[in-house]
Structure 1
Amino acid sequence: MEDSDNFLRLILDSIAENIAVIDVCGDIRFINRSWAQFGDDNACSIAQDWSKVNYLSVCDSAALAGDEFGIQAGAGIKSVIDQKEAYFNLEYPCHSADEQRWFIMRVSPFALKNERFFVISHLDVTERKLAEKAVEKLARRDGLTNIYNRRAFDEILSEQWQQCLTLKQPISLAVIDLDHFKLLNDNYGHQSGDDCLVAVGALLKNFARRTGDVCARYGGEEFTVIWSYTTLLEAELLSKALLEEIRQLKIPNERSPIAPYLTASIGLVEMTPNRLLEPRDLIAQADDLLYKAKESGRNKVVSFIVSPSDSVSALLESKSQN
């Protein structure tokens, strides 16, 4: 085919992927139109003459600035150049001021006239990534109340526990049960019951607005609130205000022996994480306190602080029983 170089150039310029070719030193020897256009559209500080740019130096500069993906990209490219890896892939975020974006970088080698080169391509996978995040968000949300579900609660509690362990900060957990919810369901129907759960879920969001605060539907008519970096005194004030807000919803529950409207009970515990305790210990203690609240008349908060000495005693008692 006549003028094959121009033909191949036109093919590469028609590809949406950003493509560059570097040599073993990292010097850029070729870029396609998409690569140049992306640089222009994003106010790239690189000189217009890309042939004078060393791509490994660009990665090293990003790494020195603390860019984790710059570190990974540079190491990956070098591993292919040094023939330690056959190729290299890296998925990374590249967000702009206006939008979220993700790309996959791929590094592949080839040889021409006894000289080795490396194709670096960047493929925009934003559409796929946003779809994955939407699915992930749905998987972590309760379909009825649109707050976190039990699965997400377990994951987030574990994360918050580790953070409080590292920072030596307290974490408070409230487990909330709607009093005599079965009577409400039986008397008014399941649609009214669902409406009640939705209203309580919306209310809980107002009590989980700070960093480290999370509300979730625990299951059935039970909900939870995680208050990280929060003492029992603070959490008690929040819990009592929450109970009052639930009462003020004035959701009818005429057959309840407590009040003719919806009420709730709360088991509340504060722990400062240490190596002897686990998140499940926090949940178990809160569940036990909720049981005490229900046994002692409901419509109240029963709370407790687990001190480090308490946790040591509990561990020794557990070992002696085993």
Structure 2
Amino acid sequence: MPLTALLSSAPDLPQAVIDALPMQLAVVDHDGTILRTNAAWMGFAAENGAPEGTDFVGVNYLHVCRASAHSSEDAAATAAALREVLEGDRAHFVLEYPCHTPRAMRWFELHLTPLEYAEGRGALVAHIDVTARKLAEQRLDQLAHHDELTGLPNVRQLRARLDEAVGTPGTALLLFDLDRFKDVNDTDGHLVGDRVLQAVGAIVHEVALVPGAFCARQGGDEFAMLVPAGTTSTLAGHAEGLRLALRRGLARVATTHAVTASVGATPIVAGETATDAIARADAALYRAKAAGGDRAVVDPATAPE
């Protein structure tokens, strides 16, 4: 049967077709007034407080966007783009926008497309739920920049922060690792070892030793922290505070061998490279470990007093 004959014999078919689509659809006329919506549009409206069955036919979508333009850049951009689509000055418009609720994070993609119909020119407005994609992107970004086990930034972020910190007055680098961590893995198993590492992440997050501090996991049981510290005594206080916080927090993790932390710290000097700062902090950490561990050592060679 020809399509025209099919449509003539089934006048409700066009509505049935758009009702079957999962995205929220509305047809607007040349002035922006809604002529038709689909079931998804009405369902979304009902979920957000509109009376059941409200179809919004007769509401001017363009006016609604303009009314919200003063408080929403997305609404302002939509209003401007819809006017251009309706005037024939734009072939297509796409805008991704957040639409969160107290219960869930949501994102949608708005599409505005010119539409020719018997009475003239209008536009098709489509809102497509892209939440699954956005959450997947966020997850990938989290994996790319954070350590999955501890939740701390990873070595990639650390390198970027170190590059920013080099030459910045008053920034210091602390390196720390865990004493007897290998014994825990060998005796209690790697699952317990993982719990120890997770505890380090929680301790760093909870303690918030220094406003503006940045802590990352380098790998294994090795971690690094950047802190603002203008003097040797201030840096020594930060290093010792970190050591004590880790000692208290790690004591709450049940292990055969008591786990503590050794800390090596040094100020970052103007004109040096990140490698220079890491080498000095690593040397200080080595001295802390060689002295028996569970202590903080500061390399004060270039720190101002």
- With normalisation by structure 1, the TM-score equals 0.67
Residue 89 (str. 1) matches residue 88 (str. 2): no
Letter in 2 for 1:73: T
Q: For this pair of structures, how many residues does the alignment match? A: 283
Residue 302 (str. 1) matches residue 301 (str. 2): no
Structure 2 equivalent of residue 116 of structure 1:
121
Structure 1 equivalent of residue 3 of structure 2:
none
Cα distance per residue 1:141-189 (max 9 Å; x no partner): 324434221224456x49x98xxx9xxxx87454313277798699879
State how 1:136-155 maps to structure 2 within 5 Å. Answer: 136-154=141-159
**SS at 1:218's partner residue?**
strand
Structure 1 equivalent of residue 61 of structure 2:
55
Distance 1:42 1:246, change over 3 A: closer
Q: What's the offset of the Cα at 1:98?
A: 1.6
Structure 1 equivalent of residue 174 of structure 2:
175
Counterpart-to-counterpart distance in 1, 2:20 and 2:210: 49
Structure 2 equivalent of residue 293 of structure 1:
284
**SS at 1:64's partner residue?**
coil
Letter in 1 for 2:68: A
Letter in 2 for 1:176: L
State how 1:72-83 maps to structure 2 within 5 Å. Answer: 72-83=77-88
Counterpart-to-counterpart distance in 2, 1:96 and 1:179: 42
- With normalisation by structure 2, the TM-score equals 0.70
Counterpart-to-counterpart distance in 2, 1:14 and 1:183: 59
Query: Which of 104, 108, 129 lines up with 1:103 in the alignment?
Result: 108
Query: Which of 263, 266, 274 lines up with 1:265 in the alignment?
Result: 263
Counterpart-to-counterpart distance in 1, 2:69 and 2:268: 41
Quote the sequence identity (%).
Answer: 26
Residue 215 (str. 1) matches residue 211 (str. 2): no
Given that residues 236 and 303 in structure 1 are in contact (C-alpha distance below 8 angstroms), is that contact kept between their aligned partners in structure 2? no
Given that residues 267 and 286 in structure 1 are in contact (C-alpha distance below 8 angstroms), is that contact kept between their aligned partners in structure 2? no
Distance 1:74 1:181, change over 3 A: farther
Given that residues 63 and 70 in structure 1 are in contact (C-alpha distance below 8 angstroms), is that contact kept between their aligned partners in structure 2? yes
Q: What's the offset of the Cα at 1:268?
A: 4.6
Residue 18 (str. 1) matches residue 14 (str. 2): no
Cα distance per residue 1:120-153 (max 9 Å; x no partner): 1111122332233233323333244342212244
User: Mind listing any 5+ residue stretches in structure 1 that lack a counterpart?
Assistant: 254-259, 311-322
Structure 1 equivalent of residue 224 of structure 2:
224
Counterpart-to-counterpart distance in 1, 2:15 and 2:106: 27
Given that residues 208 and 225 in structure 1 are in contact (C-alpha distance below 8 angstroms), is that contact kept between their aligned partners in structure 2? no
User: Mind listing any 5+ residue stretches in structure 2 that lack a counterpart?
Assistant: 1-5, 290-294
Distance 1:245 1:15, change over 3 A: same
Counterpart-to-counterpart distance in 2, 1:33 and 1:226: 54
Structure 2 equivalent of residue 320 of structure 1:
none
Letter in 2 for 1:113: A
Given that residues 181 and 221 in structure 1 are in contact (C-alpha distance below 8 angstroms), is that contact kept between their aligned partners in structure 2? no
**SS at 1:90's partner residue?**
strand
